[in-house]
């Protein structure tokens, strides 16, 4: 087994986004492309010689080939041990769990999250640091800087390893251990939730549940925990076998792409509870019988009911949400007398708050919720949290939300996504908004007067780092607001996201249709940003 040093040239497009580097599979298959980025990760790190690396992915197309390459590069670069998921499979939250449990130096996660898979789909790679969380900006910036000057990478000449069975192997001086990542993750869940109460609920003839894993990574975890450990009936987990192309579907747990689950929960014989997760297992969607829970409301409900869950009965240090997420959790935090932090989009911004003990629960409107148990958002954790609440309260999902709105008022909230629009006009739209933002204050749009208009900037309260240009905010005097952002998770064109929020304290108005309640703001958003004119789209691709 010889270590080879391969000459290479930089690729100009290897700048990580909010969740690592995501490109089409065909881009990653270009000669040296994956190797360049992996070597750039290793070259930007210090002190990893002989240390442990965690490696796994969501099982999408090219996952297995990429893992074999990374193993040989880790061996050539001096890592001491790699823990790799059986079959190359490891959910993102489970990877964070394994990193923390084994005090690993870091981890490499292969996923493009909720993006489509298959030979014509997307692939992704990101580096997680010692705390189990996504690399902070200073690390990703160092990786990108290295990728722009790289001239060689190191790789071990060796045959591929059999990753389908548990076991230990030697790859040069590197010890490789193929592990079952479900077991440590399940043990962590057992330490947080009342499995006895949840088990009673799931095995009751009076309660029905449906979990759609969308042929993505959570299938093995959901089968093991919900059906085998907690006693839910066989068939509770749908689409539980991970497939390289996610069965031809789009592994994004929202009302559009998780259509099979939505049809079941809105059908004539709907179960009491429905849930879905995404490609790599870090997102979640929660449904009741003919009832959708927005991710913003979900975070608020979990915060308000955390005292019912064993792992959080001691109280919450604080909560954190991304800026575009609705202010529903802010009201819960204020009533509870705990701090609520507003961060940019991207889970990495929660890491410092969690490590410093400033926050316990975190959430983003993009179907991501989590806590200090790991340093990633965690779809199955959120589903178990909801099941624990349902088991204790003995009420339906809708009843819990109605009661919550009675206590805190309702934040009507929606996100309109314009996917795969031409990048140039989308960027021009945002630049125009940045220029016009200072002049919007005081302007009247129908019954709405602009109270503030700015480009969100965040100063990390722990390390003082500053993140600018995180989204255009237009806030109105009645507390309503509109936010405009370009997403950093797509690989084709640009995704323009428009977030709309309006608060209603009058309980008699809580049951009106969300889009109807937000109709005036939807019209104002188009007037301010000229969305239809700029994008050529008459309506959003996805509304959640």
Q: Which residues of 329-350 are buried (b: 16+ CB within 10 A; e: fewer)?
A: bbbbbeebebbbbebbbbbbbb
Which among 158, 150, 174 is positioned nearest to 37, based on CA atoms?
Answer: 150
Which among 182, 144, 150 is positioned nearest to 56, based on CA atoms?
Answer: 182
Report, as an integer, the average pLDDT of 495-507. 94
The reply to whether 185-408 shares the fold of 3-180 is yes
pTM for this entry:
0.94
Q: Are 217 and 58 in contact (CB under 8 A)?
A: yes
Which among 46, 126, 117 is positioned nearest to 78, based on CA atoms?
Answer: 46
pLDDT digits (tens, 9 = 90+) for 367-399: 999 999 999 999 999 999 999 999 999 999 999
Q: Which fold has domain 185-408?
A: Alpha-D-Glucose-1,6-Bisphosphate; Chain A, domain 3 (3.40.120)
DSSP three-state, residue 162: coil
- Residue 474 β-bridge partners: 453, 482
Q: Are 280 and 111 in contact (CB under 8 A)?
A: yes
* 83: Cβ contacts below 8 Å, ≥ 6 apart: 52, 53, 54, 55, 98, 102, 104, 177, 179
Q: Are 496 and 511 in contact (CB under 8 A)?
A: no
User: How far apart, in whole angstroms, are the C-alpha atoms of residue 112 and residue 492?
Assistant: 13
Task: Enumerate the H helices of 274-409 as residue ranges.
Answer: 295-304, 328-336, 348-355, 379-393, 397-408
Q: Report whether CATH 3.40.50.300 matches the domain 3-180.
A: no
Q: Are 457 and 443 in contact (CB under 8 A)?
A: no
Report, as an integer, the average pLDDT of 96-118. 96
Helix H or strand E segment including 39: helix 33-43
Q: Are 539 and 418 in contact (CB under 8 A)?
A: no
- Residue 412 β-bridge partners: 502
Known active-site residue 113:
yes
Residue 490's pLDDT is what?
53
Residue 297's pLDDT is what?
97
Percent of the chain topping pLDDT 70: 99
Which among 283, 507, 231, 284 is positioned nearest to 391, based on CA atoms?
Answer: 231
What's the pLDDT band for 19 if we cut at 50, 70, 90? confident
Report, as an integer, the average pLDDT of 168-188. 97
Residue 296's pLDDT is what?
96
What are the sequence ranges of the domains in the chain?
A: 3-180, 185-408, 410-543
Residue 356's pLDDT is what?
96
Query: In a 10 Å sphere around its CB, with 0-12 CB exposed, 13-18 middle and 19+ buried, how is residue 65 labelled?
Result: middle
- Choose the weakest-confidence range: 230-239, 267-276, 321-330, 344-353: 344-353
Q: Is pLDDT of 233 > 80?
A: yes
DSSP three-state, residue 187: helix
User: How high is the mean pLDDT of the chain?
Assistant: 95
User: How far apart, in whole angstroms, are the C-alpha atoms of residue 310 and residue 392?
Assistant: 11
Report, as an integer, the average pLDDT of 118-129. 96
pLDDT digits (tens, 9 = 90+) for 38-56: 999 999 999 999 999 999 9
User: How far apart, in whole angstroms, are the C-alpha atoms of residue 318 and residue 459?
Assistant: 18
- Choose the weakest-confidence range: 183-187, 320-324, 453-457, 537-541: 537-541
Query: What CATH architecture applies to the domain 410-543?
Result: 2-Layer Sandwich (3.30)
Residue 348's pLDDT is what?
85
Catalytic residue among 40, 91, 111, 113: 113
Q: Is pLDDT of 448 > 90?
A: yes
Percent of the chain topping pLDDT 90: 89
508 phi/psi in degrees, rounded to 5: -70, -15
When computed from its CA atoms, the radius of gyration of the chain, rounded to whole angstroms, is 23
Half-sphere exposure (Cβ direction) of 320: Cα atoms closer than 13 Å: 28
What strands lie across the sheet with 167-171, from one edge to the other?
Answer: 21-24, 122-128, 106-110, 52-57, 81-89, 174-179, 167-171
Alpha carbon distances (Å) from 314 to 25, 145, 194, 388, 393? 45, 44, 15, 16, 19
Residue 491's pLDDT is what?
58
* 289: Cβ contacts below 8 Å, ≥ 6 apart: 265, 270, 271, 272, 396, 397, 398
What's the pLDDT band for 542 if we cut at 50, 70, 90? confident
What's the pLDDT band for 489 if we cut at 50, 70, 90? low
pLDDT digits (tens, 9 = 90+) for 201-230: 999 999 999 999 999 999 999 999 999 999
Residue 493's pLDDT is what?
79
Helices 379-393 and 92-101: crossing angle in degrees, nearest 10, is 90
């Amino acid at each position: 087994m010889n270590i080879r040093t391969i000459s290479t040239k930089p690729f100009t497009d290897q700048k990580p986004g909010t969740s690592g580097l995501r490109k089409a599979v065909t881009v990653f298959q270009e000669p040296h492309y994956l190797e360049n980025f992996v070597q750039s990760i290793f070259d930007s790190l210090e002190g990893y010689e002989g240390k442990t690396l965690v490696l796994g992915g969501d099982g999408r197309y090219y996952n297995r080939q990429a893992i074999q390459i990374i193993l040989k590069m880790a061996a050539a670069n001096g890592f001491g041990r790699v823990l790799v998921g059986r079959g190359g499979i490891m959910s993102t939250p489970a990877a964070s769990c394994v990193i923390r449990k084994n005090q690993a130096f870091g981890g490499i996660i292969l996923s493009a999250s909720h993006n489509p898979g298959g030979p014509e789909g997307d692939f992704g790679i990101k580096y997680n640091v010692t705390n189990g969380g996504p690399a902070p900006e200073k690390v990703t910036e160092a990786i990108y800087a290295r990728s722009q000057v790289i001239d060689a990478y190191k790789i071990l000449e060796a045959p591929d390893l059999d990753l389908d069975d548990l076991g230990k192997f030697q790859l040069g001086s590197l010890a490789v251990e193929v592990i079952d990542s479900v077991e440590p993750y399940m043990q962590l869940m057992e330490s947080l939730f009342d499995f006895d109460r949840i088990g009673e609920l799931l095995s009751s003839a009076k309660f029905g549940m449906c979990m759609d894993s969308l042929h993505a990574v959570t299938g093995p975890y959901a089968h093991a925990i919900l059906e085998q450990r907690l006693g839910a009936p066989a068939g509770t987990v749908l689409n539980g076998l991970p497939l390289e192309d996610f069965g031809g579907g789009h592994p994004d747990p929202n009302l559009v792409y998780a259509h099979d689950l939505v049809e079941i929960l809105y059908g004539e014989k709907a179960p009491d509870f429905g849930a879905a997760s995404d490609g790599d297992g870090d997102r979640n969607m929660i449904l009741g019988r003919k009832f959708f829970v927005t991710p913003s409301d979900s975070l608020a409900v979990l915060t308000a009911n955390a005292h019912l869950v064993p792992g959080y009965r001691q109280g919450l240090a604080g909560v954190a949400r991304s800026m575009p997420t609705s202010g529903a959790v802010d009201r819960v935090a204020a009533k509870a007398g705990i701090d609520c932090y507003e961060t940019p989009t991207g889970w990495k911004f929660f890491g410092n708050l969690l490590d410093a003990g400033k926050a316990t629960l975190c959430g983003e409107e993009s179907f991501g919720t989590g806590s200090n148990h790991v340093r990633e958002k965690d779809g199955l954790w959120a589903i178990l949290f909801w099941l624990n609440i349902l088991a204790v309260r003995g009420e339906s999902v809708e009843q819990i939300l109605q009661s919550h709105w009675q206590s805190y008022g309702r934040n009507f909230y929606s996100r309109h996504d314009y996917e795969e629009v031409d990048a140039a006009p989308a960027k021009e739209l945002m630049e125009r908004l940045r220029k016009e933002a200072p002049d919007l204050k005081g302007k009247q749009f129908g019954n709405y007067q602009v109270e503030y208009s700015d480009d969100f900037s965040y100063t990390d309260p722990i390390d003082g780092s500053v993140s600018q240009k995180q989204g255009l905010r237009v806030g109105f005097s009645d507390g309503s607001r509109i936010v405009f952002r370009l997403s950093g998770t797509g690989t084709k064109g640009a995704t323009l996201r428009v977030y709309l929020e309006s608060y209603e304290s009058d309980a008699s108005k809580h049951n009106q249709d969300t889009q109807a309640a937000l109709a005036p703001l939807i019209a104002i958003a188009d007037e301010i940003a000229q969305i239809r004119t700029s994008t050529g789209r008459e309506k959003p691709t996805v509304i959640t």
